Structure 1
Amino acid sequence: MRRKARFLALLMLTTLSFGALAALPMIDPKGRELPSLAPILEQVNPAVVNIATYARQPEQNPLLSDPFFRRFFNIPDEQARPRSERRQASAGSGVILDADDGTIVTNFHVIKGADEIQVSLIDGRTFEAELVGGDPEVDIAVLKIDADNLQEVKLADSDTLRVGDFVVAIGNPFGLGQTITTGVVSALGRTGLGIEGYEDFIQTDASINPGNSGGALVNLRGELVGINTAIIAPGGGNVGIGFAIPMNMARASVEQIVEHGEVKRGQIGVAIQDMNPALRKAFKLDNGLRGVLVTDIHKGSEAEKAGLQAGDLITAVNGDPTPTTGELRNSIAFSDIGETVTLSLLRDGKEVTVKVKVGEPERPAGSGMHPLLTGVNLAPNAEGGVKIVEMARDSQAAISGLRPGDILLSVNRIEVATVEDVEQALIQEQDQVLLQVQRGPGVFFVVLR
């Protein structure tokens, strides 16, 4: 018993000794303080902000939105109007890019649908923010606040990042307030994830959680290398696979938004697809050769003028390899409209160089006919009505539940068979649009507001 008591006493003393040691500053054998991220973060943290958004949503019975339900039960339209409102709040993060102008960058999905945006600084001040503009395809939005004594972050050239570089993620996870996590760059150039329209993600194992969206990913010099955007979380929590938009990509969007209020991306007018083993064999390409296959040339496009052909394999743009469709799309889309780019091709087994001008983006049919149908591409349907060919994921039509492949039978109670019919039916009503939609064997009504 005595030996056991002495052992327990010794164990307690040892534990106390280690506890006391842990409370002391950590130093090396020569008495020098060990490295710390604190000095860097003291410079960066004031440039990272918390964002709260508020959206007003009417509370009403959804059946009252259906005009046929109201007509059947003889319910006046006035009773269909919402009688009350509730406010919803969500949290995210942002980064101050210009202290003098109060310019802040964040993710588009953080402020999407918000009626009010509030920005909170690390010093406790809160300001109402103005939305300057957004780029949903990259998931970037630009805000502006009227405030003094702001601190901006330095921007890095994200093209110089290497796998294995240390990075720090700063944001507002779960609304807890400013939090930092550390990790490394796990991979670069991640595309094909289906998260955004244009993808070229930095992958990191620095923990990125809900609320971190729009926050900063910085290097050990305190420079902004990316905007934290998304995670892969099969179990609902962080598993060490997070993604950030590279700063060079985000900066291209920010500059256009600040200057023009919107983003325009150039095109050359080609249809493309990724290579696979079967195609590589059919085109008699060397094993391991990477590139993007041209499947079609749009008539009248810059690609047609430059002499591109279906079957060309585009291997590089301005000398930068383009092994995937995502990387090729990014190379063209983030070039200036009017700029001439050099494409490296493989045509019938021979290396060819072609110069092509980056043209204006093509305007989809129906994209500008009505504000509530912005981002929707329509085409006549052979079996009647007008078909939704494609739509932007952030469009009001998509938010309201419409899908590509849906067929519009009538617009504002007027039957439609062509895109021009839809345009004519939309002339009178600007505040809302009543659509009769066929999806498969079913037909239903949708109101866009």
Structure 2
Amino acid sequence: MGTLGKRSFDQVEESTIDVYKFSSSEVRRLRKACSRQPLFKSKKMNHNIDINTMKAALKTSPAVVSLVSFSGRVMLSQGSGTIIEALENNNIVMTSLNLIRQPLTDSNARFVKNSLAADLKIVVGSFEENSYIGEIVTYDFHYNILFIKFKSKTRLESAKLSMIDDDHSIKLKPGDPVIVVGRYFDRSFELMAAPGCFRKGRCDSSIYDCKELLLAGCHFTRCGDGAPLVNLSGKVIGLVYYEIGPIIPFLPINIVHKLWDHYKIYKYELRHPSFGFEGCNLYSSSLAKLDKLIRRFPSISDGVLIEKVHTGSCAESAGLCVDDIITSCDDKAVTSFLELWSFMWDKVGDTVKLEVVRVKKRTMESIHMVVGEAIPNDLNKWPRFDYM
């Protein structure tokens, strides 16, 4: 992760802000890219979207931007992003780090490198149909996320965020409607929407290391990489990553919010908690396991099911086992994996007390576990998509 200065919110006069003008050669590259990276509505399922989808997309629209990156004179990538903070004319955008990663030269490589392209330039396209130069604020290889700042001629709105599965939000359930909202990167600045639903399940572990990713059934094009995922209220619940199929991964906004708040306070490399286990919300478990649980512990309806314990990890040392269910952390009730992640984020290097239900033994036990931190060699790998 890196930073290009701490003065993210300098107040400026409108007259000092220049709108970016693409050169004639860049315009040609944009036109060529448009033929390869079409609008969301090129997908049949995004034709004739319903009125509720339109309303949600329009609520988010002022905060949705298009993004184009260049390495020298070479166009690197296109994507979308979300303004998560706006103060006067200064705006902070979240998006996918794929926008500026170094292109791979090895045709056999399955995963992208943890390095940035050289001689970078980022162009942000806004709701008010202007383009601006964006600057890197900070980035994180582990969660594949990038924060950009840019100054606009007019005051823009930041998105409304809705945390998933915490005490102050509606719980997200499989089948709930969600929408990917993007902005096209050519000079039309067209708003795009790809409706779908929240899906039960996990990403293919042979492709994605990141266990915090959730799934949605939306079908969009490459220029939506890094776009916001919103609910029908128009509130942002996640950041999406492009997938060639109709099931796409997204990073919950809880994690993005935690990363950004941490950076604003400490201005140094973000922490990456390492639990030593893989888990899921109870609703993601099998019907058979849930049936056994409610027969033996009828009062247990929330928690985190342990699916795998890594050899030599802090979880193994603490005595966690597969099929254990964590119901509390330091005497705070755990209702979801994201809630447990949030508790443990604040406890890296410390010991936490976990209340665990052991269905096979028909017991409830307390165990103590040290929360570890991922080292560089343990950072999440992210897949390459040359066909994006």
Residue 291 (structure 1) aligns with:
306
Distance 1:178 1:262 in 2: 36
Residue of 87, 96, 100 corresponding to 1:111? 100
Asked if 2 retains the 8 angstrom alpha-carbon contact of 1:273 and 1:293, the reply is yes
Residue of 273, 295, 308 corresponding to 1:266? 273
Cα distance, 1:185 vs structure 2: 1.4
Q: 1:351 to 1:331 in 2, by over 3 A?
A: farther
Residue of 242, 245, 269 corresponding to 2:251? 245
Distance 1:314 1:328 in 2: 17
Larger radius of gyration: 1
Residue 314 (structure 1) aligns with:
324
Q: Secondary structure at the match of 1:253?
A: helix
Residue 282 (structure 1) aligns with:
none
Cα distance, 1:344 vs structure 2: 0.9
Q: 1:52 to 1:359 in 2, by over 3 A?
A: same
Q: 1:310 to 1:149 in 2, by over 3 A?
A: closer
Cα distance, 1:152 vs structure 2: 0.8
Matched, 1:53 2:69: yes
Cα distance, 1:336 vs structure 2: 4.0
Residue of 250, 253, 260 corresponding to 1:254? 260
Matched, 1:135 2:147: no
Q: 1:149 to 1:267 in 2, by over 3 A?
A: same
Cα distance, 1:244 vs structure 2: 2.4
Cα distance, 1:47 vs structure 2: 0.6
Matched, 1:99 2:86: yes
Q: 1:116 to 1:271 in 2, by over 3 A?
A: same
Aligned residues: 284
Residue 222 (structure 2) aligns with:
210
Cα distance, 1:291 vs structure 2: 3.3
Distance 1:91 1:341 in 2: 45
Asked if 2 retains the 8 angstrom alpha-carbon contact of 1:48 and 1:93, the reply is yes
Asked if 2 retains the 8 angstrom alpha-carbon contact of 1:138 and 1:198, the reply is no
Q: Deviations over 1:393-446 (max 9, x none)?
A: 47xxx99xxxxxxxxxxxxxxxxxxxxxxxxxxxxxxxxxxxxxxxxxxxxxxx
Q: 1:225 to 1:267 in 2, by over 3 A?
A: closer
Asked if 1 retains the 8 angstrom alpha-carbon contact of 2:92 and 2:149, the reply is yes
Q: Deviations over 1:192-226 (max 9, x none)?
A: 44335233313123x32101011122222111122
Residue of 220, 235, 247 corresponding to 1:223? 235
- Code of the residue aligned with 1:161 in structure 2: it is L
Q: 1:185 to 1:36 in 2, by over 3 A?
A: closer
Residue 279 (structure 1) aligns with:
none
Distance 1:286 1:187 in 2: 18
Taking the TM superposition and a 5 Å limit, the aligned residue runs for 1:27-38 are: 35=51, 38=54
Cα distance, 1:180 vs structure 2: 2.3
Cα distance, 1:105 vs structure 2: 0.5
Backbone CA RMSD of aligned residues: 3.9
Which structure 1 segments of 5+ residues have no match?
1-33, 57-85, 234-239, 275-284, 364-374, 377-389, 400-449
- Code of the residue aligned with 1:221 in structure 2: it is S
Q: Deviations over 1:170-201 (max 9, x none)?
A: 11468574332242314145344433523331
Q: 1:202 to 1:273 in 2, by over 3 A?
A: closer
Asked if 2 retains the 8 angstrom alpha-carbon contact of 1:137 and 1:196, the reply is no
Distance 1:392 1:39 in 2: 36
Cα distance, 1:257 vs structure 2: 3.2
Asked if 1 retains the 8 angstrom alpha-carbon contact of 2:92 and 2:150, the reply is yes
Taking the TM superposition and a 5 Å limit, the aligned residue runs for 1:141-156 are: 141-147=146-152, 148-156=154-162
Distance 1:317 1:145 in 2: 43
Q: Secondary structure at the match of 2:151?
A: coil
Q: 1:329 to 1:139 in 2, by over 3 A?
A: farther
Asked if 2 retains the 8 angstrom alpha-carbon contact of 1:103 and 1:145, the reply is yes
Matched, 1:342 2:347: no
Distance 1:286 1:163 in 2: 16
Asked if 2 retains the 8 angstrom alpha-carbon contact of 1:134 and 1:262, the reply is no
Asked if 2 retains the 8 angstrom alpha-carbon contact of 1:108 and 1:134, the reply is yes
- Code of the residue aligned with 1:152 in structure 2: it is S
Q: Deviations over 1:277-310 (max 9, x none)?
A: xxxxxxxx99967633546455xx5875xxx237
Cα distance, 1:355 vs structure 2: 4.7
Cα distance, 1:362 vs structure 2: 5.6
Distance 2:260 2:247 in 1: 26
Percentage identity across aligned positions?
A: 18
Residue of 119, 125, 128 corresponding to 1:123? 128
Q: Deviations over 1:78-113 (max 9, x none)?
A: xxxxxxxx5233111100011115111101112322
Cα distance, 1:255 vs structure 2: 2.2
Residue of 167, 171, 175 corresponding to 1:164? 175
Q: Secondary structure at the match of 1:169?
A: strand
Taking the TM superposition and a 5 Å limit, the aligned residue runs for 1:333-372 are: 334-337=345-348, 338=350, 340-346=352-358, 349-356=361-368, 358-361=370-373, 363=375
- Code of the residue aligned with 2:234 in structure 1: it is G
Q: 1:353 to 1:191 in 2, by over 3 A?
A: farther
Distance 1:330 1:197 in 2: 13
Asked if 2 retains the 8 angstrom alpha-carbon contact of 1:104 and 1:142, the reply is yes
- Code of the residue aligned with 1:99 in structure 2: it is A
Cα distance, 1:55 vs structure 2: 1.4
Asked if 1 retains the 8 angstrom alpha-carbon contact of 2:327 and 2:357, the reply is no
Distance 1:297 1:291 in 2: 16
